[in-house]
Amino acid sequence: MITSRQKEFLSEILEGKPIPEDKLVYFRERLRDRLHSAILAAFQQRAKTGFKQSDLAERIHKKRAQITRWFSTTSNLTLDSISDLMVGLGMDFDEFPFTPIEKTLAPKDRQVKGRKAA
């Protein structure tokens, strides 16, 4: 359920108006968070088979300390480092689905049903 504060936060986006810079900042951070979480989840999956940060570092020609820095916080991630980490972990995008933001406002169960129906 989307709250009134969240609706207000999204107002310019939904109304097609210019989006204030501070909101763009929030969404940049959010995207970094999402990619960071996906990379950490992939690493944790690989780690179950004995794959270590040092193995990943070696695969992508980085020092282990650099991998630790990238894993510890989102702030140092760039498109290049995200790509290197993904490839090093053997990950790729199956597809690249951008969803219109309006469709994400519905409760999750409805979103899933809608996707299945499509």
Closest separation in Å from C-beta 106 to other proteins: 10
As a whole number of angstroms, the distance between CA 52 and CA 67 comes to: 10
Find out whether 67 and 53 touch, Cβ atoms under 8 Å: yes
Using CB under 8 A, pick the residue from 73, 78, 83, 90 that binds other proteins.
Answer: 73
- Please pick, from the candidates 11, 45, 72, 83, the single residue that binds other proteins as defined by CB under 8 A: 72
Q: Whole-angstrom Cα distance, residue 97 to residue 15?
A: 22
Q: Which of 21, 80, 94, 109 binds other proteins (CB under 8 A)?
A: 21
All residues at 6 or more sequence positions from 89 whose CB lies less than 8 Å from its CB, including other chains: 39, 42, 43, 46, 56
- Note whether 35 binds other proteins by CB under 8 A: no
Distance separating alpha carbons of residues 21 and 35, to the nearest angstrom: 21
CA distance 47 to 49: 5
How many residues bind other proteins, per CB under 8 A? Answer: 28
Residue 12 binds to other proteins (criterion: CB under 8 A): no
Torsion sign over Cα 57, 62, 63, 68:
negative
Tell me which residues in 41-70 interact with other proteins (CB under 8 A). 68-69
Q: Determine, following the binding rule CB under 8 A, whether residue 71 of this chain makes contact with other proteins.
A: yes
What residues make contact with other proteins under the rule CB under 8 A? 2-3, 5-6, 9-10, 20-23, 25-26, 29-30, 33, 36-37, 40, 68-69, 71-73, 75-76, 104-105, 108
